[in-house]
């Protein structure tokens, strides 16, 4: 819940910052701030109350988790104010936010964090982000885009996406084959895992993955493959 509130604060700051641009976007114009459903003053009050809620929750959680929350909020603020205008750096700043979420989840349930977990999670996030930027760039002719996107080329983003997914698959495969307890289940999970990533890359090529959560949840093959992957991992663990 604490990270949910932190993410909400981040989205409020970002949406207020991009208010005028969002109003010109075919989908983002329906967001609460852009649509005028929530005023900037109300958004600031919500952010303040969320921050108070975070402080109350953190009293019951480990110090490491609290530090991760602080790092996440600092990264979000710096990204919104400065880094989102710097090509490449802005993609890695967003990636850092995803990694911090993954690490925080592991810390709060006292789960050991392996190097493979960080590599797969980090490069998986970078793959999704580069694919998102590619979709945004494709939409450049039909809508106004953020200035930083004009600094990217399709070839660069295609290469970034391909490199990221290659590292992600390699790391996951090495992790799966390093398991000694019930290894066959972990190794079998490689198949749906790889297909999911290829399917997502295909979606980026033929459609729009500007909103990754929608692209993933609305694609039945990805949802089904995700369930199979989790099932195989469950067999391997339990």
| pLDDT score recorded for residue 25 | 67
| pLDDT score recorded for residue 214 | 86
| pLDDT score recorded for residue 142 | 53
The 10s digit of each residue's pLDDT in 92-138 is 999 999 999 888 878 777 777 888 999 999 999 999 999 999 988 88
Stated pTM of the model: 0.85
Cα distances (angstroms) measured from residue 55 to each of 3, 65, 66, 69, 104:
11, 12, 9, 10, 16
CA distance 80 to 90: 9
What is the length of the chain? Answer: 238
The 10s digit of each residue's pLDDT in 206-230 is 877 878 888 899 999 999 999 999 9
The two three-digit tokens of residue 174, written as one number: 């090495």
| pLDDT score recorded for residue 65 | 81
211 CA to centre of own chain:
10
Tell me the average pLDDT of the chain. Answer: 85
53 CA to centre of own chain:
23
């Amino acid at each position: 819940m604490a990270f949910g509130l932190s993410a909400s604060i981040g989205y409020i700051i970002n949406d207020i910052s991009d208010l005028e641009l969002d109003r010109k976007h075919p989908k983002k114009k329906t967001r609460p701030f852009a649509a005028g459903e929530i005023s900037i003053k109300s958004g600031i009050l919500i952010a303040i109350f969320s921050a108070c809620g975070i402080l109350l929750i953190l009293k019951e959680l480990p110090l490491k988790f609290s530090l991760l929350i602080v790092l996440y909020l600092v990264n979000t603020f710096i990204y919104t104010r400065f880094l989102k205008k710097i090509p490449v750096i802005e993609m890695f700043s967003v990636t850092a936010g995803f990694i911090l979420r993954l690490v925080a989840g592991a810390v709060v349930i006292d789960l050991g964090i392996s190097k493979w977990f960080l590599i797969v999670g980090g490069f998986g996030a970078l793959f999704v982000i580069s694919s998102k930027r590619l979709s945004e760039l494709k939409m450049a002719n039909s809508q106004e885009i953020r200035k930083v996107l004009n600094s990217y080329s399709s070839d660069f983003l295609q290469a970034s996406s391909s490199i990221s997914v290659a590292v992600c698959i390699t790391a996951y495969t090495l992790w799966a084959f390093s398991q000694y307890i019930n290894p066959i289940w972990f190794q079998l999970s490689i198949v749906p895992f790889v297909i999911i990533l290829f399917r997502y890359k295909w979606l980026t090529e033929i459609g729009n993955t500007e909103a990754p959560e929608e692209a993933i949840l609305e694609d039945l093959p990805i949802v089904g493959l995700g369930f199979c992957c989790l099932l195989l991992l469950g067999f391997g663990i339990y």
